Amino acid sequence: MWEGPLEKIGEYRYQIPKSYRGIKGNLKMRVPAVIYASPDMLDSIKKDNAPEQAANVATLPGIVGKSMAMPDIHWGYGFPIGGVAATDAEEGVISPGGVGFDINCGVRLVRTDLRVSDLDKSAIRQLVDELFKNVPSGVGSKARVQLNRAQLDEVLELGAKWAVDQGYGWDEDLEYLEENGRMEVADAGLVSEKAKERGKSQVGSLGAGNHFLEIQRVAEIYDEEAAKAYGVEKDQIVVMIHTGSRGCGHQICSDYLRVFENAVRKYNISLPDRQLACAPVKSREGENYFKAMACGANFAWANRQMIVHWVRQSFENVLKRDAEEMGMHIVYDVCHNIAKLEEHVVDGEKKMLYVHRKGATRSFGPSRKEVPAKYSKVGQPVLIPGDMGTESYLLRGTDESEETFGSTCHGAGRVMSRQQAKRRWNGREIARMLESKGIYAHAASWSVMAEESPDAYKDVSKVVETTHGAGLSLKVAKMRPLGVVKG
């Protein structure tokens, strides 16, 4: 339980002052730490000591503004999950702990012209079973397409573009992916053979854990203008995909953490927690990690792109209609475990920064050039997945989010470990509970069903209400699941 200072500095904003010295008494924060939360969330936020990690991040060399944590904050590796930190592009550091092991874990939303009335329970069940058959899922799942080493290098450097070039999707898809589905700085030569070996059989697979593939209905519209721009209406059928870079990204992170442990000593960097291992952004180690991390991000974009292709195929197979005829266009794709080189305003001056978002989503408003032209009047779509069986949200980015370097929350946030969840619940019971709510779930593992019980997470609606109230992202629509594929 965290018992340090937490001062209310505004609505939905609590600050750990720069004067705080940490539980060891020797912490020297360079900037304050701010946690975005509602009053009734504070007890659960303090419970796993994650605010201490937010304070620890504030000690990083070159950090600017504030160390920040979204309302879905919980304990992570080095950085809290839900953590955001920006470091100076000349004098700052980059930290794998600020990105996470599942590089570019992210969410993609596909709209359709179908309505709830077009699909009865039998059709939902058929679609979910077809999706389960076509999209490999589960621990250690292997993709339908086996790549050789040269092809994998292309995936690592070209991202979603490689998938589209190979026929996995439509040319227009790339316009609606963050970074257009590719970080051009990627260099496959900086990714280890072990990471490539882990990744070559996993491109186009869902994986396990909190990853999912859901058929959803749009249950509520909050912002008609933005919803119209995004092509979303009440009672519409949409598909949400939540997955990342699989074993490839995990291995990239593991490899560079070992490199950075040595870099900390080499560059004489003092840290309150060894899990914050970092290197100067201008060092060889820092530059190499950023290029390798970009490869992991590209892998994830290609992964989600191939899954979209098989989602479209599955709908075609079951409903006997063409995907284009059904209007199966991508609304957007966001990532929530990544570091980006972006321009932001610091103390009234535009600066280039390395923005770490770990369990946090980009939330750019209408003024940013990165927002697709089609959405330029309303801002970037923001996708917030719920936990299994609860609602998910479509929001829009705001110019006010510049306060957090264009960042918002990423999901519900765990309140219980996976082991605790498995001890408390039975996977079959969870499936029956979902069925009673009209949700058909097809899982690769009953164990994962137990781990991902809705009660193991915070209330996603409270998380979203907080970011909405704080102005970091604004509600557009709420979606409820009809069918779920779990790894």
Active site residues per annotation: 410
Q: How far apart are CA 293 and CA 251, in angstroms?
A: 10
Q: What residues does 357 pair with on adjacent strands?
A: 84, 338
Q: How far apart are CA 436 and CA 347, in angstroms?
A: 53
Q: How far apart are CA 448 and CA 436, in angstroms?
A: 19
Q: How far apart are CA 68 and CA 63, in angstroms?
A: 11
DSSP 143: -
User: Hey, is 105 helix, strand or coil?
Assistant: coil
CB 278 within 8 A of CB 95: yes
Residue with token string 């721009």: 229
Q: How many residues does the chain have?
A: 487
Chain-centre distance for alpha carbon 397: 15
Q: How far apart are CA 9 and CA 32, in angstroms?
A: 12
DSSP 184: T
CB 77 within 8 A of CB 100: yes
Alpha-carbon separation of residue 373 from 366, 368, 370, 379, 399 (angstroms): 10, 10, 9, 9, 16
Q: How far apart are CA 109 and CA 124, in angstroms?
A: 18
Q: How far apart are CA 190 and CA 181, in angstroms?
A: 20
